[in-house]
Amino acid sequence: MSDNLLPLVSVVIVNYNGKGFLLDCLGAVFKSDYKNIEVIVVDNGSTDGSLAEVGKAFTEQKLKLISLDKNFGPAYARNRGIEASGGAYIGFLDNDTIPLPEWLDKPIEAMARDFRIGFCQCKLLLRDDPDKLDYAGDYLGQFGFLVQRAQAGEPNTGQYDSNDEIFGVKSAAMVARASVLRDVGLFDEDYFIYMEETDLCWRGWLRGKKTVFIPQSRVKHAFGGSVLALGPRQNYFAKFHGCKNYIATLIKNLGALSMIKILPVHVFLWLGICIWLLLHGRLKDARYTFEGIIWVFRNLGSILKKRKAVQSRRVLSDKYLFKIIMRKKGLLYFYNKLSVKRSLGYALGFYRNKN
């Protein structure tokens, strides 16, 4: 098929002080095998001269630059990119990724073949060691926490090489159907960072739109690179937003009976995490996590309004959906994730570090 006959794909890249990564990312995107693309860089108030460098380096490519006056977070920035896009499909990349040339072909092919697919997850490989995995999708655990299919650093031996239905994606490298994005309401801008793509995919599932892992779409990712750009407050962002967004996501998307069963246990476990952190002398981390719980209660009215909108449009029951998206794990699984610190040291292993 001629490049001009291919559906347009808008590639949205959010940047925040990513000067060390962004040029490499853009260079790789413009070498994609899929040629009918437009690239939209949304800058979250960077102070490192990122946009000036991009303007110098890419003068002939199809590139839009959107400059925001401060860091509004990835969710808000991606929405501005979506609003400026014209593609039938929208690819999302973090600025610390390097997509391989074929990264768009198979997701677009899969979505063109099956209109029930709303979101596709690319196979994420570690940028400095691409024989190892960063991420291959996740499922929902019975306590409301995410269950990863692959562990970061796990050898990539073909164990995740089938097009599987998954629960959620990591927005470091994903492809979405634009019509589904607009139908389910874009990213929730109250999330700032963490869980925003999980919430989005869950709303998609409730509307009958699948999320699928596409292993032939490969993207190298500098694990945690864009989170490190947050600077000294990265620990606060991880604990506070990770906690509040987890709880808010359950309130918005669980059916009534499931919420009665899962939410109290989920909140109780967050309180247990606060106690665990206190016992390990991590007073600030405990405070940030507890503040996340308090934020939910203070903003419960607005969360319940969102819940009403989501639930009024659902077409799949939790009973049907959980057979696809849920994988049960014992408490020991989650405790082990809590007690092991990531090598980067910027967040608890209990949180899925997405950015």
Q: CATH: 3.90.550.10, 3.40.140.10, 3.40.50.280, 3.30.750.210. Which one for 7-228?
A: 3.90.550.10
Residues 4-41 as b/e (b if ≥16 CB within 10 A, e otherwise) read eebebbbbbbbbbbbbebbbbbbebbbebebebbbbbb
pLDDT tens digits for range 183-240: 999 999 999 989 999 999 999 999 999 999 999 999 999 866 555 555 556 778 889 9
One-letter amino acid at 144 equals G
**What does the pLDDT profile of the chain (355 residues) look like in tens digits?**
456 689 999 999 999 998 889 999 999 999 999 999 999 999 999 998 888 889 888 887 789 999 999 999 999 999 999 999 999 999 999 999 999 999 999 999 999 999 999 999 999 999 999 999 999 999 999 999 999 999 888 999 999 999 999 999 999 999 999 999 999 999 999 999 899 999 999 999 999 999 999 999 999 998 665 555 555 567 788 899 999 999 999 999 999 999 999 999 999 999 999 999 999 999 999 999 999 999 999 999 999 999 999 999 999 999 999 999 999 988 777 777 665 443 333 333 333 343 3
Q: What percent of the chain has pLDDT over 70?
A: 90
DSSP 241: I
Under DSSP, the state recorded for 224 is T
pLDDT in tens, 293-334: 999 999 999 999 999 999 999 999 999 999 999 999 887 777
Cβ atoms within 10 Å of 291's Cβ, excluding its own = 16
Instruction: Name the residue ranges covered by the structural domains of the chain.
Output: 7-228, 233-315+328-339
- Three-class secondary structure assignment of 50-118: HHHHHHHHCCCCCEEEEEECCCCCHHHHHHHHHHCCCCCEEEEEECCEEECCCCCHHHHHHHHHCCCEE
